[in-house]
A and B are shown apart, each in its own frame.
Chain A
């Protein structure tokens, strides 16, 4: 998370709205530990990452959805996708739980 705080502050100064996605729990194998974070601005700028690049695209979509709605945040789970070759999933076989939230000032 440390590494995205600078970007969050900059976006805030620029008047952008900001969503934060954090890896909170991991089952099985996974490239990153809890606390790995990605920040997303409402115009689609991205800082940080939460996996080895497997789910980042889907996380941006979730984050923009959270920014568009009025809920405070939601848990999102990504697991191994063996049914559809192009579905979003982790090839390492792990399952990751992300918390995606909107930051309000």
Chain B
């Protein structure tokens, strides 16, 4: 096949680095409000009917949203196999907790209202809470770890080895900076869930969602700003040393990498990337104001802007690093040495270019069909067919 030479290897790698970001952001924008609503359920709904309103605002769409998570796994496997291999085996027990949450959540949505027993329903409500809040926290913790570098190395055969005893591997993830990153992601997704409920619910549920959401928005902005300051003064960065080629074979051991004082030198080299953290902070503040004022559509858009800014700021700051190794910087994964082959990246790009617009189009159509508020009356009248 000659066709795939049309796009050079380094360009393909940058495109797939961008698509990795698109997937993570797509996941956070869609499934993010499902997780946020899940975490809010016990607090925005005092009665069974109110809780059902909150659940049914996401009832018809969470399944599609969750595919962003699954596609994220598949796309990382296809485009960045070493990243897939290192991260999921390295964050092993944390990953199991996330999987458990993502297994419980669908079941909780679907089965909760299939029995009338109040204890049955309350148990599932807390399951929805945990399966929303815990992964929301852990995703941030994982990002915090990646920013600081993760203790792994490759053997000569390119077998990834994660260092430390199993309990250290798990507890070690929860260092203060990573926990702060976890607070950013948890509060950001609660803010997003609050913005979603403001649009889709009314009355008491909406009112409580606005209150909690606005507190979460402020917390997210504050924690994010604090993490930025911390990164300026207390977190080391990484850089590639010496000559390297961006079109070479994907072998992480071919590069020389060393630690630097901070990641934030990237803002001196590429000042335009400052737009990302600016969007994060401004978006968060506007969401806060929107929630206080009770604006519906614009608040959700501001919340999306904040998430877009926060997530892309991490990727743009670390570029070209994807997952640095703290114990053996030589093994760090970068855009230039941990992708799939040129042919695979090209084929996957063609498939994505064909299907992604279709996915976005029919997803938009489904949201349009479902447009409008979920009310206590509508849940009550359709008690058999809704969640």
Chains A and B come from one and the same complex: no
Q: Which residues of B contact A (CB under 8 A)?
A: none
Q: Which residues of A contact B (CB under 8 A)?
A: none
